[in-house]
Amino acid sequence: AKGYFADPHNINGLNKVANTDLFIMRGVIEHLIDPWKTLSQVLEDLHPKYCLISATPNGNSIAYSLFKSEWQMHVPIGHLWQFSPRHIIEMLAASNYVVINFDFQYLEGPYVDLISDSLAIHNKCKDLAENRKSSNACPPFFDSMMSLFAVRRDAISSKLRS
pLDDT digits (tens, 9 = 90+) for 99-115: 888 888 777 777 788 88
pLDDT digits (tens, 9 = 90+) for 9-66: 555 555 555 566 677 777 888 888 888 888 888 777 676 666 666 678 888 888 888 8
User: What residues have CB less than 8 Å from 13, skipping those under 6 apart?
Assistant: 6
Q: How many CA atoms lie within 13 A of 18 on its CB side?
A: 3
Q: DSSP letter for 124, please.
A: H
Which residues partner with 150 through β-bridges? 51, 99
| Residue 16 phi, psi dihedral angles, 5° rounding | -70, -15
pTM, two decimals, is 0.75
Q: How far is CA 84 from CA 2, 64, 77, in A?
A: 30, 11, 19
Is the Cβ–Cβ distance between 47 and 134 less than 8 Å? no
